[in-house]
Amino acid sequence: MFKERLVKLRTDKGLSQYDLAKALGLSRGQLSNYELGTRQPDNATLIKIANFFDVTTDYLLGRTNIPNATSDLKKNKIPEEFIKLLKDQNGSLPYSAVTRVLKIFSPTDKSKTKILPVLGRIRAGLPILADEHVEDILEVPDYIKGDYILRVQGDSMVGVGILDGDLAVCKETQVAFSGQIVVALHDTATGFSEATLKYFFDNGKGPVLRAANPDYKDIDITEGYRIAGVMVGLIREGSPSYQTYRDFLAVSAYEEWTQVIETAIGYGITPQQLSVTLDMQRQMIERIMVDKRKRS
């Protein structure tokens, strides 16, 4: 991550390796090794690079996608003395501190917006809104009553128009009602939790997580899953592809079968079992028709 960010910062400023190396007091060979990833800078050099580009060392190392929270506070005319008081022992600004301060000092023209954290990798055992999980922040309208934002991965919810890459605005809670779209966490052996966005249903046979895509099976929520929020809004950064519309047409053409499919799923009937039953019924009907023709 460091080498990619160093190259991007340098090229965004239109600097050559020679120019940047000279500005930092390094040799061109040293800088080239950093950008190739064959060597890592020491702490003093890392801080020098961060100061030159006005970003944090955490941003350079890929620990956050926020280049410089201090700069954001300065843009909002937060006093320098106040910013110093907020920094932790490593000199970094926690997300929780930034949002609290911006809420207090936000100008009046931003009174109808608020800042929400965009969560990245979720470390198991920590609260969902822990600072360690925040990879970015996003300003959203104040009427969206959410606490955090989760980036959607995969196509498990395409049936309700939630696409890969969308931003799901979620409200923090550990309790959900049947039929709500929830954020469910599942701890892994890596020490991180996988977050999935699914419907929550409890039909008396036990709570399950259900995708809005027939290619995915229901998940028994008692198998190591826990609810960490409910979805309250959706943000899309791009437009849906034409294939999304074609998929909708394919599904809507069989809308009259929806109730039949849901009934079969509710009874625990598999597609194979239903197919066998239909074959048996068809054979019985054919025999009845043959008997009628014989009697007539």
Q: Which amino acid is at 281?
A: Q
Residue 112 in 3-state DSSP?
coil
Cβ neighbours of residue 128 closer than 8 Å, sequence gap 6 or more: 119, 122, 148, 172, 183, 185, 228, 229
> What string of DSSP letters covers 65-108?
S-S-HHHHHHHTT--HHHHHHH--TTS---HHHHHHHHHHH--G
Which listed residue (77, 156, 171, 205) is catalytic? 156
Q: Is 198 a catalytic residue?
A: yes
User: Is residue 2 within 8 Å of residue 34, measured between CB atoms?
Assistant: yes
How many CA atoms, within 13 angstroms, populate the side-chain half-sphere of residue 147?
Answer: 12
Phi first, then psi: give them for residue 254, nearest 5 degrees.
-115, 30
Annotated catalytic residue within 92, 114, 193, 198: 198
- 32 catalytic per annotation: no
Active-site positions read 156, 198
